A and B are shown apart, each in its own frame.
Chain A
């Protein structure tokens, strides 16, 4: 099987996992999760060097930090299908006594998660800290992070963006899930972010624009480009334009599915658009 076919099957299964997780507890955030299914799949299946035998310190591994923790369904699906914990455990998402909390946390010891996130705007700082420790440890592996675009309205991000640019934290690749939507509607209506490329550049970041953020080849190419830009005294950011709800026709083109689960009928339609590939949990 070609790697692309494998990735396509993986992404489709991840979409099924996302939909089934939020449906089974009638809560959670499918929209952003679906929009980032390709990104997570490529990162964990092809790009990052890591051990699925989880160790918190992650020395001599690439590390990933999810700042917009509400898209936990995609994170959990990809972690489990990358060997961090049994896929069966997806059944426990958001249920009592689960390691799969509504928002990701280290608190219950879920392998693959290195920081709690959910209260927005904190992940960039954490990623910078981990990047600085990698440098102190003379560990040449990279730090990857993901942030929502609406999340950039939190001020702490700009403290972190200023720091990383000014101090040349060049072993960090931050990706912005640029779907231009947030809970209350279009980001342009809630609080416009303006020209993000210019803003990051003004803070001395290297900016890559990824217009096809749901296209496997485009994401692979951009991540490779980003990796090649590390180690050059500048942090790297990817502005990844995604479609919230991608892969489910009635969830696309709207912010309505940011934090809403499908009902039984809607789930059936959604799953029929994403046929089982690697086996449901």
Chain B
């Protein structure tokens, strides 16, 4: 089984900050907007290097989304930064009308997504954002897994013309994506090849899926792990190719089971190749305060949960 080396724990939001800083140098049309969370979003380097292209909007996310939409008129590529909750739920109608329906080239960059925001609790831990964003026609939805991939995705979305939701997080997590790996929107990355079960993971749970694959391998179960960094458009070809081989699937995401990656995969399978599926996701619940790893364990969003679901789904194969 192919294994991956963690080159050191680091937060995905720092990958965003590094990517944005690089865009600052390479693309003069890129501008950044922040709603009073510059440090949390790691936007300081861009802000310091390009004060004329950085806009502190204050705690006014609706205004930030609208300003970003307006800025595209005249050729700018605005990157907005705030927490995932305030990037989506708080400003859904602004995104819907002024960005998505208007077809504006705005990059909505969202940190602190999911339970791993930790101690701040459920007011800030959005678990519905992937669903909200993927339902918007024309919206590209990306959830990156580690620092390197977040940096690469940040750079890649500037080249793509259209609205994008880029989701990342707060905690320091394993960094294992090759530093030189090009980010292709909508193109899944197959991390391990296997025959018994397909594990389709996104965001922080991709590393957990790799850990689960190791546990399963020790039990003689061969798992194919796919990193779906783009929830929409979904790489249905990669999913179907794998599930046709393994005949069952586990999806894993730091998101509500309703409306997330798992449901997108289920739809794909139902239309093309029905197969047993198990979901590693929160079960229609809000989160709570706590340490990130303890929360992931309590809500069943880790390697242990993934391997258990993998064993369960294998038993459901006909």
Q: How far is the CA of A159 from the CA of B68 in the complex (A)?
A: 14
Decide if B217 is an interface residue (CB 8 Å cutoff): no
> In the complex, what's the smallest C-beta–C-beta distance from B176 to chain A, in angstroms?
38
Decide if B66 is an interface residue (CB 8 Å cutoff): yes
Q: A163 and B57: CB pair below 8 A?
A: yes
Residues from chain B with a CB closer than 8 A to the CB of A118 are 97
Q: B74 and A125: CB pair below 8 A?
A: no
Decide if A107 is an interface residue (CB 8 Å cutoff): yes
Stretch at the interface among B98-106, B242-250, B305-313: B98-106
Q: B102 and A105: CB pair below 8 A?
A: yes
Residues from chain A with a CB closer than 8 A to the CB of B96 are 119
Stretch at the interface among A25-33, A52-60, A204-212, A259-267: A52-60
> In the complex, what's the smallest C-beta–C-beta distance from A128 to chain B, in angstroms?
5
Decide if A106 is an interface residue (CB 8 Å cutoff): yes
Q: B94 and A156: CB pair below 8 A?
A: yes
Q: A106 and B102: CB pair below 8 A?
A: yes
Q: A116 and B97: CB pair below 8 A?
A: yes
Total interface residues on B, CB under 8 Å, equals: 32
Q: How far is the CA of A156 from the CA of B63 in the complex (A)?
A: 6
Give A131's nearest chain B residue, CB to CB: B70
> In the complex, what's the smallest C-beta–C-beta distance from B313 to chain A, in angstroms?
41
Decide if A130 is an interface residue (CB 8 Å cutoff): yes
Residues from chain B with a CB closer than 8 A to the CB of A72 are none
* Residue-wise interface mask of B (14-39) relative to A, using a CB-CB cutoff of 8 A (1 in contact, 0 not): 00000000000000000100000000
Whether A137 contacts B70 in the complex (CB less than 8 A), given A116-B97, A125-B63, A160-B63, comes out as no
Whether A129 contacts B57 in the complex (CB less than 8 A), given A115-B98, A116-B98, A118-B97, comes out as no
Q: B97 and A139: CB pair below 8 A?
A: no
Residues from chain A with a CB closer than 8 A to the CB of B71 are 129-130, 132-133
Whether A126 contacts B69 in the complex (CB less than 8 A), given A115-B98, A119-B97, A134-B74, comes out as yes
Decide if B93 is an interface residue (CB 8 Å cutoff): yes
Decide if A255 is an interface residue (CB 8 Å cutoff): no
Decide if B180 is an interface residue (CB 8 Å cutoff): no
Decide if B52 is an interface residue (CB 8 Å cutoff): yes
Residues from chain B with a CB closer than 8 A to the CB of A116 are 97-98, 101-102
Q: How far is the CA of A126 from the CA of B78 in the complex (A)?
A: 12
Contact with B66, one of A59, A122, A137 (Cβ below 8 angstroms): A122
Decide if A63 is an interface residue (CB 8 Å cutoff): yes
Residues from chain A with a CB closer than 8 A to the CB of B94 are 122, 125, 156
Q: How far is the CA of A57 from the CA of B53 in the complex (A)?
A: 18
> In the complex, what's the smallest C-beta–C-beta distance from A123 to chain B, in angstroms?
8
Q: How far is the CA of A160 from the CA of B69 in the complex (A)?
A: 13
> In the complex, what's the smallest C-beta–C-beta distance from A133 to chain B, in angstroms?
4
Residues from chain B with a CB closer than 8 A to the CB of A119 are 93, 96-97
Binding site for A on B (CB under 8 A): 31, 52-53, 55, 57-58, 60, 62-76, 78, 93-94, 96-98, 101-104
Given contacts A116-B101, A129-B68, A163-B67, 15 further A-B contacts (CB under 8 A): A57-B74, A106-B103, A115-B69, A116-B98, A122-B97, A129-B69, A130-B71, A131-B70, A133-B70, A136-B53, A137-B75, A159-B60, A160-B60, A162-B58, A163-B60
Binding site for B on A (CB under 8 A): 56-59, 63, 65, 105-107, 114-119, 122-134, 136-137, 139, 155-156, 159-160, 162-163
A-B contact pairs, 13 of them (CB 8 A): A106-B101, A106-B102, A106-B103, A122-B97, A124-B66, A125-B66, A129-B67, A129-B71, A133-B75, A139-B74, A156-B94, A159-B60, A163-B57
Closest 4 CB pairs of A and B: A129-B70, A125-B66, A133-B74, A159-B63
